[in-house]
Structure 1
Amino acid sequence: MKGHIYKRGKTYTYVIDVGRDPETGQRKQKSKGGFQKKKEAEQALRKALDVLEKEDFHSPSKENFSTFMQKWLNTHYRFRVSETTTSISTYTINKHLLNNNPFLNKQISKITTRDIDNFYGYKLNEGLSTSTVRKLHNLLNKALGQAQKWNMIISNPVASADPPSIKKAEFLIWNSADINKFLITIRNERLYILFFLAIHTGMRKGELLALKWSDINLAKRIINVRRSLSNIPGKGYLHKELKTKKSKRNIIISKDVAETLLQHRKEQEKIINEFGNAYVDNDLVICTTEGKEQDLRNVTRVTKRLIQEAGVPKIRFHDLRHTHASILLSEGIDVVEVSSRLGHTNPRTTLETYAHLVPNKNNNAADRFSKALSKDLFNG
């Protein structure tokens, strides 16, 4: 791309040759005049050339957002994350980014930061949580960030957007009376062991449903947590290895829990003998009567039904994990130990989540501090 300067009367003008029109073949030029000095025209020419070269290099795409997102998801993103993450992200993208999105059919090169910020407000007004909107922000940032790397857009509008801060939702927990009432009520339910272990170990639903007898040492009273169950649409159940060293953990169980597991195993063996070859033995601790994986969504439905029958406060299945952690902390168990039992990556996560439940052992901190200073002063 070339340009030159010429004098026109008493002022200077620059002209840039930007090629030829692909349809007519005619020469295309850009010009600007009115500069009092030649030096001013030269400076303006250099800036104009820089801008045009940058635009030419990036070749802003005319592809609309909807088309780009589907291509990015299916030809790039899905090959860089796990199947579980792909499944969750696909659902989120289809529901929120490819539906009821003001810039759905807008060219990606014309989407602005203001469009993105307005979109966040739109979704918050729809009733989405700040956590969900933040997830949408992360997906948009990855997608349009890749578009920038592919030179489809000059800059990523999401990078300058202002997503909402995550407001942690309050969770409900049961006290010991609620727990005992619930467990007594559901004692004869097939999934009793699932709820019993959730309360006594703090394990996640997916971890419990992927638990195998080979993961349990009843003699030493240890549960080895190594994997989690997820359901991939169109593919079925996936036993996924846990990612971090912290999430892969050994949980010490009480004598009562070990005895309950042993009793459950005896009952399961009776079912295996009754079904014979019809039973699919996957070594699962918690499964269907045929030995297959227990459906995660069904657990949610069963939880609601059993809570209503027991007449205890309504909570989510995941709140049983919160209940377990809360009881431990209220009994004075160290935060680091509780964090390790829950499989948190960092004890800070545990402390931030349950800070209001940690017993305050520092009520006399101010007095002890003053006493320490006085002691040093006296010794001096």
Structure 2
Amino acid sequence: MTKIKKVTLKNGKVRYEINVYLGINTVTGRKKRTTRRYKTKHEAQIGLRQLQLQGYENKVGTLHRYTFKDVYELWMENHQHEVRETTLASKRSKFKARILPKFGHLLIKDITRVYCQEVVNEWAKEMEAFQDYVIQTRLVFQYARKIDIIENDPMEFISLPRKVEENLFQIEKRNFFTKEELQLFFKCLEEEGDVLNLCLFRILAFTGIRKGEALALHWNDIDWTKRELFIQKTLVRVRSKHILHRPKTKASYRKINIDTRTLEILGHWKAKQQELYEAMGFKIAIDELQPVFTRFHQQKYEMTYMRESTPNDKLVAFFGRHPNLHRIKVHDFRHTHASLLFETGASLKDVQARLGHSDIKTTMDIYTHVTQTAREKLADQFQNYIDF
């Protein structure tokens, strides 16, 4: 088995060297080897797999060398340039958590359809979204087939287990506020007197923007004259760091009109934020560089973007202080906004544009869960039209 050797050059720099045996050249009858050096050990590992693959394709290597993990690493080397950082982090997490423990150590040519079916059946029992793990696993098998390491994808004809619904008329857990519940929520929130909390949840409930979009807002994203909010970035967490990223889709770039009361609350928070910064000895940045929602980073001793988990923590704590309120999650303010828009008579296209959905099917899925008030209006409209 080829080893990666750490070498120190004359200039003191460290390199990682591999000397790979690629088999017997069928033309000359001589042994074929090659030596390469790389800056990092990870690059050397990738280079080793690529050279072994090259040897196989030239008929001077052997197929049995390739494990599922070997092919995964080769596939990932190409695939990582095709997707967003957040998507890449999610994919790697899935492979690390469940896919590689089941397949990584196995020789890819020896993986059978029966084994794949057993793994999928196990995943189906453990989690709801098991199908995405199947999709990711198949991408590696399809890549192996594409580069002639295997002839067939062993997952191609497996069966996806389906859970039988015990009761087709289960009572759904409502993931949005009614108009009256939303009013009560903000009444309690205003009574607490926390301007930051009021501003944060007002933005989420009255614009329907995503949590990451709200946390990425800078003050220059607000047009105070036109009463518009410009959504052009989102805050994401990648490898334990919060970074600004482009929005989810092209449709996510949008301008949203905001009501006068929300604009007024934003103005109050802007003034309060200025006071807090001065009290802590910090200088407020210009609007283009100043985030709307910030936190104090104790280790760095600076103000920075609010953590992605903070709105969740704030909402849980709030419901703990008001246990009689209907409970929803942070993302459910988006559903609340959509549901109430539909109650006002807004069209699917209008709601789609405001929420930044690229696919109207996503908007329609929300529409199917409209509030009881909307259902009652629909029944009344039908009766009034028929009139008997």
Distance in 2 between residues matched to 1:141 and 1:365, nearest whole Å = 54
- Aligned residue for 1:296, secondary structure, equals coil
* 1:223 alignment partner in structure 2: 229
Residues 348 and 366 of structure 1, relative CA distance in 2, 3 Å threshold: farther
Instruction: Give unpaired runs (5+ residues) of structure 1.
Output: 1-19, 26-53, 369-380
Query: What is the CA-CA distance between 1:285 and the residue it aligns to?
Result: 0.9
Of 330, 344, 362, the match for 2:343 = 330
Distance in 2 between residues matched to 1:145 and 1:57, nearest whole Å = 23
Distance in 1 between residues matched to 2:61 and 2:150, nearest whole Å = 6
Q: 8 Å contact 2:233–2:246 — kept in the other structure?
A: yes
Distance in 2 between residues matched to 1:346 and 1:156, nearest whole Å = 31
Give TM-score scaled by structure 2 length: 0.71
* 2:321 alignment partner in structure 1: 309
Query: What is the CA-CA distance between 1:62 and the residue it aligns to?
Result: 3.9
- Aligned residue for 2:243, secondary structure, equals strand
Distance in 2 between residues matched to 1:365 and 1:66, nearest whole Å = 65
Query: What is the CA-CA distance between 1:299 and the residue it aligns to?
Result: 2.6
Distance in 2 between residues matched to 1:87 and 1:278, nearest whole Å = 34
- Aligned residue for 1:114, secondary structure, equals helix
Q: What letter is aligned with 1:254?
A: D
Give TM-score scaled by structure 1 length: 0.72
* 1:135 alignment partner in structure 2: 132
Distance in 2 between residues matched to 1:309 and 1:325, nearest whole Å = 27
Residues 251 and 278 of structure 1, relative CA distance in 2, 3 Å threshold: closer
Q: 8 Å contact 1:174–1:323 — kept in the other structure?
A: yes
- Greater shift, 352-361 or 114-123, is seen at 352-361
Of 280, 295, 307, the match for 1:295 = 307
Query: Mapping of 1:281-292 within 5 angstroms?
Result: 282-289=289-296, 290-292=302-304
Please tell me whether residue 202 in structure 1 is matched to residue 205 in structure 2: no
Larger Rg: 1
- Greater shift, 282-291 or 138-147, is seen at 282-291
* 2:274 alignment partner in structure 1: 269
Residues 71 and 279 of structure 1, relative CA distance in 2, 3 Å threshold: farther
* 2:147 alignment partner in structure 1: 150
Q: 8 Å contact 1:61–1:107 — kept in the other structure?
A: yes
Q: 8 Å contact 2:284–2:290 — kept in the other structure?
A: no
Distance in 2 between residues matched to 1:97 and 1:115, nearest whole Å = 13
Query: What is the CA-CA distance between 1:164 and the residue it aligns to?
Result: 5.5
* 2:355 alignment partner in structure 1: 342
State, as a whole percentage, how many aligned pairs show the same letter.
22
Q: What letter is aligned with 1:349?
A: T
Of 66, 72, 76, the match for 2:75 = 72
Instruction: Give unpaired runs (5+ residues) of structure 2.
Output: 1-23, 30-56, 166-171, 297-301
Q: Deviations over 1:27-69 (max 9, x none)?
A: xxxxxxxxxxxxxxxxxxxxxxxxxxx9x89964542224443
- Aligned residue for 2:155, secondary structure, equals helix
Q: What letter is aligned with 1:295?
A: R
Of 183, 187, 197, the match for 1:184 = 187
Q: What letter is aligned with 2:290?
A: D
- Greater shift, 76-85 or 192-201, is seen at 76-85
Query: What is the CA-CA distance between 1:209 and the residue it aligns to?
Result: 0.4
* 1:376 alignment partner in structure 2: none
Query: What is the CA-CA distance between 1:292 and the residue it aligns to?
Result: 0.5
RMSD: 3.2
Distance in 2 between residues matched to 1:295 and 1:177, nearest whole Å = 30
Q: 8 Å contact 1:145–1:156 — kept in the other structure?
A: yes
Q: Number of residues paired by the alignment?
A: 309
* 2:89 alignment partner in structure 1: 87
Distance in 2 between residues matched to 1:82 and 1:301, nearest whole Å = 27
- Aligned residue for 1:283, secondary structure, equals coil
Q: 8 Å contact 1:191–1:286 — kept in the other structure?
A: no
Q: Deviations over 1:70-119 (max 9, x none)?
A: 4533x2322221211111111121112134x3x44322112233333332
- Aligned residue for 1:351, secondary structure, equals helix
Q: 8 Å contact 2:274–2:284 — kept in the other structure?
A: no
Please tell me whether residue 232 in structure 1 is matched to residue 213 in structure 2: no
